[in-house]
Copies of this chain bind each other. A is one copy, B any other.
Amino acid sequence: MRMSELAREAGLPTATVKFYLREGLLPEGERTSATQAQYGEAHVERLRLIRALVGPAGQSIAETRRILRAIENPPSDYDLLGIAHQSVTPERDEGVDLTRARALIDRLGWNSAYCAPDSLGALEEALQALTAGGFELTDEVFDRYASAMMGVAIDEVTDVPTDSASSAARFVTLGTVLIEPLLLSLRRLAQQSASAERFGGIAPSPPPAP
């Protein structure tokens, strides 16, 4: 198909498709003349994936490029999570002191030696933001969050497909970024439901008409 059909098929403006081409997120089509190229079903799928990543998952163009690269060039062994997480984590200031984050992880009985510095840095920054916001987090509450996330993670790691490095890389990389908005929306909906039970509360909108 031509560029204009590709754009229509993917539900995107042609200018956006051209932008993704220029940024190297979308592979070139097959040239049929100096000004025209043909695109196939793989291009449509790739555009849907890009939309998913830059839309709800909120990844930047640079992050999206890293994610697509990780999916295309899977590591040959199963030390995937570190590589996948690196590919989806924005690079951090190396000056962040990770001492507290490492100590917290080790206190939980997890293994900070296997944790990526970027992820430990993200934990440290989240804790600093809570302090800056005047939001007190007790050890008990921290441990509760950690234990809920370990429950989630154990199931996820168990589910990683092991038939090929490529499907494992896809599962891990997309699972990391695409599940995040799902988890956060479920948390808010759970809070709203639980809050209605605790405080009563006014339904924010009438239920849909039958």
B195 and A81 contact, CB distance less than 8 A = yes
Find chain B residues with CB under 8 A from A186 CB: 123, 145-146, 149-150
Q: Which of A16-24, A33-41, A53-61 contacts B (4 or more CB under 8 A)?
A: A53-61
Number of A interface residues, CB 8 Å? 98
Interface class of chain A by DSSP? helix
Complex Cα distance A54/B146, Å? 24
| Copies of this chain, tallied across the complex | 2
Q: Given the known inter-chain contacts A45-B134, A146-B186, please indicate yes or no for A181 contacting B129, CB distance below 8 A.
A: yes
Q: Of all chain B residues, which has the CB nearest A125?
A: B56
Q: A112-B207, A115-B189, A149-B186 are in contact. List 11 more A-B contacts (CB 8 A).
A: A48-B133, A56-B125, A89-B188, A113-B207, A114-B192, A114-B196, A116-B188, A116-B192, A146-B190, A152-B190, A156-B194
A residues neighboring B (CB under 8 Å): 45, 48-49, 51-53, 55-58, 78-82, 85-86, 89, 98-99, 102, 105, 110-117, 119-120, 122-123, 125-130, 132-135, 137, 141, 144-146, 148-160, 170-171, 174-176, 178-208
